[in-house]
Amino acid sequence: MANTKTFDEASLNQASSDIRETTIWKEFLALIKVGIVNSNAITTFTGIWLALYFSGKGFLGNIDVVLFTMIGSSLVIAGSCAINNFYDRDIDHLMERTKDRPTVTGKMNPIQALWIGIFLLTLGFCFMLMTTLTATIISLVGVVTYVFLYTMWSKRLYTINTVIGSISGAVPPLIGWAAVDSTLSVQAWVLFLIMFIWQPPHFLALAMRRTEEYRAANIPMLPVVHGFAVTKRQIMVWIACLLPLPFYLYELGTGFLILATILNIGWFVIGIKDFKNKEKELKWATKMFVYSINYLTILFVSMVLFTIV
């Protein structure tokens, strides 16, 4: 019986330790906003891949650059997100989608979160410096824009915060391209513009769905300050601006142009449907938000695929 009790206690202690380790890992992933890190990894890789493709360089022959860029950019983004969580902990508890972040629940000490962010940024820039100076500088621009210009300044003051934040969200493909080719051709800037223009309709649709949460947190998102009608018009204008951009990537082939155009027109058509129906505004915003996520993934993955097939 004594041996059985000892075994049971050991098992319980091991199980408790495993649960705690799992929880710590989940808290870390929540702190760095792993979803954002992963989505940006897709656009960064696309920038790398297309830079290699258009410059005639081999993928395996530049695998070191690929790895340094992917690791470095991911760490930089993760560090920026950790600092964002540290800074926004006073308002995150007011919003449903952010109230469970470890800096809000108390599962992670705020100062600890800040130092984790600083460490990840430092490590990320060390990796980026092993690529090109241009890629490193662009990474720094992204950090400054997201942490200082967006998080610490415009987010709580101006409705244009979405546009300012879009700059940092648009640099990942530019970072990837610059790591391979510092000259940054027209195609590289088109990738940046696609990402930049995609973000306002994406985040404004989200803001419509979470209007009351943003209002409670006193964040001046466009639908909070100017209402749904103005927000919907701006969403449609931003989507329209995407229409000509795929044609600057004509070298990816007719198949890509057709797919990208269908995606753009499809988004616009979905936006027109029920545009004036005030009773379905939240449903409209949800459809636009979901479409925007699928749009970005399909578009950037297809850029890679059409260079292979």
CATH architecture of the domain 28-305 equals: Orthogonal Bundle (1.10)
Confidence of residue 4 (pLDDT cuts 50, 70, 90): very low
Helix 133-143 / helix 110-128 crossing angle, nearest 10 deg = 160
Q: Say which amino acid occupies 76.
A: V
Biggest distance spanned by C-alpha atoms of the chain: 77
Q: Are 165 and 150 in contact (CB under 8 A)?
A: yes
What are the sequence ranges of the domains in the chain? 28-305
pLDDT digit string (tens) for 176-224?
Answer: 999 999 999 999 999 999 999 999 999 999 999 999 999 999 999 999 9
Question: Mean pLDDT lowest for which of 24-28, 38-42, 156-160, 253-257?
Answer: 24-28
Rounded (5°) CA angle 203-204-209: 95
Tokens coding 97:
């989608």
DSSP string, 159-192: TTHHHHHHHHHHHHHHHHHHHH-TT--HHHHHHH
Question: Which pLDDT score, from 0 to 100, does residue 8 have?
Answer: 56
Q: Smallest Cα–Cα separation from 173: which of 197, 189, 162, 186? A: 189
pLDDT digit string (tens) for 56-108?
Answer: 999 999 999 999 999 999 999 999 999 999 999 999 998 888 888 999 998 99
pLDDT of 160 higher than 70: yes
Q: Are 47 and 173 in contact (CB under 8 A)?
A: yes
Q: Smallest Cα–Cα separation from 99: which of 29, 30, 23? A: 30
Q: Smallest Cα–Cα separation from 33: which of 3, 95, 76, 64? A: 76
Percentage of residues in the chain having pLDDT higher than 90:
87
pLDDT of 23 higher than 70: yes
The model carries a pTM of 0.90
Residue 299 and residue 246: Cα distance in Å, rounded? 10
Question: Helix, strand, or coil here: 248?
Answer: helix
Mean pLDDT of the chain: 93
Residues sharing a CB contact under 8 Å with residue 57, sequence separation 6 or more, in sequence order: 51, 180
Residue 298 and residue 306: Cα distance in Å, rounded? 12
Residue 54 and residue 35: Cα distance in Å, rounded? 29
For residue 248, what are the CA distances in angstroms to 188, 198, 243, 303? 10, 16, 11, 13
